[in-house]
With several copies, the nearest count.
Chain A
Amino acid sequence: MKKLINDPKDVVAEALAGMELAHPELVISHDPAFIARRDAPVQGKVGLVSGGGSGHEPLHGGFVGPGMLDAAVPGPVFTSPTPDPILAATKAVDGGAGVLHIVKNYTGDVLNFETAADLADAEGIRVRSVIVNDDVAVKDSLYTAGRRGVAGTVLVEKIAGAAAERGDDLDAVAAIAQRVNDNVRSMGVALTSGIVPHAGEPSFTLAEDEIEIGIGIHGEPGRERISLEPADAIVDRILRPILEDLPFSSGDQVVLLVNGMGGTPLVELYVAFRRAAEVLQEAGITVARSLVGNYTTSLEMQGFSLTVLKLDDELTALYDAPVQTAALRWGR
């Protein structure tokens, strides 16, 4: 294992210390560990808190700031945080209008956020939760822990963040977040595995010519393991289930997010973007907004995911609204 770390058990704490030094516009609480906007709590604004295991950066800490999250709670690498820091972050960002928890659909995340919400409630803070589950790779969701939350989370956080920023109340922000989740679908592919620092070995192994179609962001198995194909064929293979699932149809306006898993060069992500955009165009779907880059990663995994969000006028306006975070910035 070659990693740029000191002791594996210190990775998350040291990275937090780095964030604190690099981003004076953020407030870092070390114990309990969370990252918040410097101006939190914003009085009268709904607070947005997300979090989960570390190793998916810039998700979630890179998305804390005006127009997006009020706080992010990083757990150990690939392990959900406990309720304590979630509760602490929730209290830190409550400006009297309640707090929305944005939770990726993993049993650990769901249960720990649930407990934190109960505890916050007991302290008189109104909390609502939205579970993100955009990963279409999980087919029989009745017979599993359900669809996983992957890169669509970024769009939920961006758009709900804009709704909170414009002054929507808690129920309205939760409804917008839910609407994004209902209209977003993703699927990913792995060329190689990431390595969890404390594990010290790859989470799974792929042969030199194998790729995993439908990979999860913790290396969870996908739909099938196949031989490496040209980029265009891979894009087609993961875009089809996305489009069939919602379904998207001709005339739709969408956000197309080509998300790197951490170890794939940007030049390759643009090659994939090209194909995905072309296929959508051919289907009569307009790529109204685009994102290409590493937004929801799996450590140094090579691979990428496609995320498609069906837009309406309100979602488009909220997507376009200003955002000022470490990893996503526009407008103003």
Chain B
Amino acid sequence: MGLDTAWARAWVSRSAEVVSEHKTELITLDREIGDGDHGENLDRGFTAVLAKLDDLPAEARPGDVLKLVATTLISTVGGASGPLYGTAYLKGAQAVADADSLDADAVVAFLTAARDGVVLRGKAEVGDKTMIDAWTPAVDAASAAAQSGAGGAEVLSVAAEAAERGAETTDALVARKGRASYLGERAIGHRDPGAVSTALLLRAAADTASAS
């Protein structure tokens, strides 16, 4: 079995679990440098996605699952992260729309399109202390791994690892996008909640991929 629709469904289920498990942590991170709702927002979103998953037809492709995630997050999350994650999944889904199953190149295409979607909407660069600080290292590591011949699951694992490292790098940064940017130097020493949730979601992707 490859990274097919069953995997995509499994990823969504695992994402909902992970977000719920880390809800309080994400809220706390967001309270420190934002407005304390990031965990609440994502949890509301993924709970809604989960509820809609059963409505998908049996013949749905991975891209259809990802598109459902996109539209549901957009219409339920609100705040900054709703449209950003929504666009990420939407653009990523479009990049793999025709695939019945994702190979390493498709995974890279998905991640790249997702990251580009976030940048398109949010205009953040690496170093701005946003979720981009997790997404971009993940994309870079994934494409390097794919080029050296890794399979889809391994590419996701490398991406998750890079996203986690990327999230850690936000500790030292002053924010230049999002609410944390008003804090100036006071944001230093705190981890960006969106970067942390990005790493959690990619880790969920990798875990479900290696179990497939």
Contacts and interface: CB of A to CB of B under 8 A. Distances in A.
In-complex A–B contact (CB below 8 Å): yes
6 contacts: A78-B37, A107-B177, A112-B79, A112-B83, A115-B74, A145-B178
Given A111-B121, A112-B83, A221-B186, A82 B78 contact: yes
Interface in A175-206: 196, 198-199, 203
A316 interface: no
User: How extensive is the interface on chain B, given as a class?
Assistant: 20 to 34
Identify the interface centre among B31, B80, B121, B177: most chain A CB within 10 Å of its CB.
Answer: B80
A112 to B, nearest CB: 6
Interface of A: 75-76, 78-84, 106-108, 111-112, 114-115, 138, 143-145, 148, 196, 198-199, 203, 216, 218-221
Q: Is the interface of A mostly helix, strand, loop or mixed?
A: loop
Contacts of A219: 35
A79 B74 contact: no
A37 B149 CA distance: 61
Given A111-B82, A111-B84, A220-B179, 13 more contacts: A80-B79, A82-B75, A82-B77, A108-B82, A112-B83, A115-B74, A115-B83, A144-B175, A144-B177, A144-B181, A145-B177, A145-B178, A145-B182
B122 A82 contact: no
- The 5 lowest CB-CB distance pairs between A and B, nearest first, are A111-B83, A144-B181, A107-B80, A108-B79, A108-B80
Interface in B166-211: 174-179, 181-184, 186
Contacts of A220: 179, 182
Contacts of B37: 78-79
A83 B74 contact: yes
- Looking at chain B's contact residues, the main secondary structure is helix
B93 to A, nearest CB: 16
B183 A221 contact: yes
A199 B178 CA distance: 20
Nearest to B73: A82
Nearest to A203: B35
Interface of B: 31, 35-37, 40-41, 74-84, 86, 121-122, 174-179, 181-184, 186
Contacts of A84: 75
B74 A199 contact: no
Given A79-B79, A82-B82, A83-B75, A111 B122 contact: yes
Contacts of B31: 199
Contacts of B178: 107, 145
For A82, A143, A198, which residue has the most chain B Cβ atoms within 10 angstroms?
A: A82
B182 A216 contact: yes
Contacts of B186: 221
Contacts of A148: 182
Contacts of B75: 82-84
B78 A108 contact: yes
B138 to A, nearest CB: 21
A80 B182 contact: no
Contacts of A79: 35, 37, 41, 78-79
A75 B37 CA distance: 13
A75 B44 CA distance: 14
Nearest to B83: A111
A207 to B, nearest CB: 16
Contacts of A81: 78
A107 B83 CA distance: 10
Contact of B83 (A75, A114, A138, A196): A114
B117 to A, nearest CB: 12
B176 A144 contact: yes
A107 B176 contact: no
A112 B121 contact: no
A144 B129 CA distance: 11
Contact of B86 (A78, A115, A144): A115
A16 to B, nearest CB: 16
Contacts of B176: 143-144
A198 B74 contact: no
Contacts of B83: 83, 108, 111-112, 114-115
Nearest to B179: A220
Contacts of B84: 111
A83 B78 CA distance: 8
Contact of B74 (A82, A108, A196, A218): A82
Contacts of B121: 111, 114
